[in-house]
Chains A and B, each alone.
Chain A
């Protein structure tokens, strides 16, 4: 079956530090890959996506590249801000199956 594995958290960084959150997946076919973010007290929001191999999704300074050879979709940001503190979920959508499969999520805390 499909699965998403995220690195263990939580992660605490200082403002302006570089961020990498690892995500690997197992899926049949050619999935689309997503990063969702959940800010405190709010619902899940789509952060970025990539629909095929070598695509790079980007939004709000975050980037992730769909790597088919390593089945990975790692999230990066060059300089984090306090406002980036949230829970980040990696997810996939595979083929005609419409359901998203999520990783466990990782909590990011950015201190001033």
Chain B
């Protein structure tokens, strides 16, 4: 399967703990995105990378959140000092961008985070 993969699929943690999620994009895709989806809502943009450069961050991404894509391949999203409001599905997507043209985004299955 050469789609977008995310690990873990589920994470339960206690308030105040740190968590890290991983996303492996489709191999030839140079763009990688993180979104957050809460119950009954559509996904909301958090941040995106082109290769290893983080090009945009949403205001939703507080300073407790950090994302990296060190070699322009997989990415990690870390949440420090988790809060109950961080409980959500975290989605990763990837796409191919050539010049100004950006093609459709393909989504992974998501990591469901529950903070107790």
Contacts and interface: CB of A to CB of B under 8 A. Distances in A.
Contact of B43 (A49, A93, A96, A100): A100
A4 B44 CA distance: 12
A100 B45 contact: yes
Interface residues of B, number: 27
Contacts, number: 55
Interface residues on A, range: 20 to 34
B109 A102 contact: no
Q: Which label, helix, strand, loop or mixed, suits the secondary structure of the A interface?
A: strand
Interface string B78-116: 000000000000010101010010101111111000000
Contacts of A45: 107
Interface of B: 4, 31, 33, 35, 40-45, 48, 55-56, 58, 91, 93, 95, 97, 100, 102, 104-110
